[in-house]
């Protein structure tokens, strides 16, 4: 028995109504979906940390999610794990005609253009007409990632700033509108304008060829390191320190990491 077959048999055993695990038996697509998303982020974290033993484990956890969903689908007569693999195999061959067919693609841009064209053809075959240039961006994506994908798709049809400078100016414009909303004190307006600031910063990151999700992860990791140093090096509890002492401790933590 192969490793995959063993994994599938383990999952089937866990879901067995008579002798399986009570927790696993209780789950459905909706309850497992958040775990699937969480495991994908843990894979990303292992990659960011360059922790390859951890990456191996997290990839296994992510594979388990695919097996879990496939087992539930098989129980309902929808599809099986082998169908998932076959569908993926067919898709990869179909979307790479420059590798598996007679098409040619000399650069990455051509590959991307061909990929999008093939995806449109697939949607048409499924009866999903191409209604918008923004089609195909899942609503469940993390907000920063979804904003970036929406902007990339809009840019493909020419709706984009010509270069970085006007995007940077737009950041200042959106910040000014946020300041105005703050002065007026309307919560909904403040949230709208704050969202516009974030959306424009994502646009700026795209023009700077920076992944906004990765940039924010790095900033969060940097903050976490500095804060932990503050906690470790401070003789008093942070809760008891005034703003001046906290600022001094923060600056000391920053220097220690340079």
**pLDDT digit of tens for each residue in the chain (258 aa)?**
799 999 999 999 999 999 999 999 999 999 999 999 999 989 988 998 899 999 999 999 999 999 999 999 999 999 999 999 999 999 999 999 989 988 888 888 888 888 878 877 777 777 665 678 888 888 888 899 899 999 999 998 899 999 999 999 999 999 999 999 999 989 999 999 999 999 999 999 999 999 998 899 889 989 999 999 999 988 889 999 999 999 999 999 998 887
The tokens for 46 are 């292992």
Residue 77 three-state SS: coil
d(CA 178, CA 166): 18
**Nearest-10 crossing angle of helices 212-233, 187-207:** 110
Token look-up 């922790």 returns: 51
Taking residue 226's Cβ as centre, other Cβ atoms within 10 Å add up to 19
Q: How many Å apart are CA 234 and CA 247, to the nearest integer?
A: 12
CATH 1.10.287.1080 fits 3-94, yes or no: yes
67: tokens are: 């097996």
Minimal CA–CA distance to 116: which of 155, 144, 160?
A: 155
């Amino acid at each position: 028995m192969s490793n995959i077959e063993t994994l599938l048999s383990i999952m089937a055993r866990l879901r067995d109504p008579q002798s399986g695990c009570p927790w696993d038996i209780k789950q459905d697509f909706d309850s497992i979906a958040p775990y699937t998303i969480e495991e994908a982020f843990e894979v990303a974290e292992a990659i960011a940390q360059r922790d390859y033993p951890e990456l191996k484990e997290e990839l296994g956890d992510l594979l388990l999610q695919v097996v879990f969903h496939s087992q539930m689908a098989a129980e309902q007569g929808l599809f099986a794990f082998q169908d998932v693999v076959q569908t993926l195999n067919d898709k990869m061959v179909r979307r790479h005609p420059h590798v598996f067919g007679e098409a040619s693609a000399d650069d990455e841009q051509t590959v991307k253009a061909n990929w999008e064209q093939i995806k449109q053809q697939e949607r048409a075959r499924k009866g999903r007409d191409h209604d918008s240039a923004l089609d195909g961006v899942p609503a469940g994506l993390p907000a920063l990632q979804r904003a970036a994908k929406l902007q990339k798709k809009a840019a493909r049809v020419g709706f984009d700033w010509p270069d970085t400078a006007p995007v940077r100016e737009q950041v200042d414009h959106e910040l000014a509108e946020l300041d105005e909303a703050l002065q007026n004190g309307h919560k909904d307006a403040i949230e709208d304008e704050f969202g516009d600031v974030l959306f424009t910063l994502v646009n700026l990151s795209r023009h700077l060829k920076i992944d906004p999700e990765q940039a924010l992860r790095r900033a969060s990791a940097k903050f976490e390191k500095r804060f932990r140093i503050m906690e470790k090096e401070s003789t008093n509890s942070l809760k008891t320190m005034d703003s001046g002492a906290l600022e001094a401790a923060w600056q000391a933590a920053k220097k220690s990491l340079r």
